[in-house]
Structure 1
Amino acid sequence: MKRKSMDGATCPVARSLDVIGDWWTLLIVRDAFDGMRRFGEFQRSLDISKGILSTRLKALVDAGIFALVAPEDGGAHHDYVLTEKGRALFPVVVGLRQWGEAHCFEPGESHSVLVEKKTGRAIRPLCLESASGQPLSDTDTEVRKVDSSASRARLARRG
């Protein structure tokens, strides 16, 4: 079944899922945050077929999430390195991790945990905050449509 493209959707969640909504994609990005750069590293970590991995990596490069760079060791193969756009997915991956820690494990069940390198301590749960720094929940927010002509005018003044 062919997947429907959401690249023209007015919803930012739909457009984001069009780029990163495949579960292999976020696992590849997760592994990149863990320091993986080579095709073989991703394949071994994920136990994914070469064809699926190749397709997903190409899509991530095409979307500007990864860049292909010559390896530091001068090898024949290239490395996949997260771009600024790719590194901006860090809070998304952390949010999924924290949700999984809270809702996908039984009490006392072993799992990995994200820690700060400097201290070795687990990071605090992500928290959405208002412009004034107050914590926000789903009941404190609403979605409003942005008028595209006003958006274009704002972008023109910035650029």
Structure 2
Amino acid sequence: MQRKTLLDSECPIALSLERVGEWWSLLIMRDALQGLSRFDDFSRSLDISPNMLTRRLNALVDAGLLERRAYSVKPLRHEYVPTERGRDLKGVLFALIAWGNRHFSQDEVSVQVVDRATGRTLQPMMVDVVESRVVPWDECELVHGPGASQGMRERLGRMKKVQD
């Protein structure tokens, strides 16, 4: 059975999942954002089969999240370095860490996101960049953007009516 593609979707979540929705992809990006860059390092960290790792690395390069760079000519070896697009995924991973800690930690958390200067635990949030203020999640809503199709405008309109 062939997997459906989400590349034609206008939903940003669907478009993002098309690139990183496979769980190995997020784990590879986690490791790359923590400084791993070589095939053998990813393989050891993740205990992933070489074929799967090759497929996932190629997909992440094709999606523009990692850049492949040769670090050895004989034999030819590559390292994988996050691109700007890949580095921007850090916020998503930090949000997943906070969500996982809140809802799935067995006892005490094993990993947390902290402020380097203070060591205090941080939580994901939305910020109004014009006014530099935190906007609580329950005060946020989804609205159509300027590029939304009529179908998306109607869908978001229906969702808003259900919420009201």
C-alpha distance in structure 2 between counterparts of 1:18 and 1:142, whole Å: 21
How many pairs does the alignment contain? 146
> How far did 1:123 drift?
4.2
C-alpha distance in structure 2 between counterparts of 1:59 and 1:45, whole Å: 19
Equivalent in the alignment of 1:121: 119
RMSD: 2.3
Equivalent in the alignment of 1:112: 111
Q: Deviations over 1:80-99 (max 9, x none)?
A: 00011110101011111111
Equivalent in the alignment of 1:59: 59
Deviates more, 1:22-31 or 1:128-137: 128-137
Q: Deviations over 1:97-155 (max 9, x none)?
A: 1111111113x435122345x54714411111234324131453123153469xxxxxx
Q: Which has the higher strand share?
A: 2
SS of the aligned residue for 1:44 comes to helix
Aligned 1:64-103 pairs, distance under 5 A: 64-71=64-71, 76-103=76-103
Equivalent in the alignment of 1:6: 6
Gaps of 5+ in 2: 150-164
* 8 Å contact kept, 2:10–2:148: no
* 8 Å contact kept, 1:113–1:122: no
Gaps of 5+ in 1: 150-159
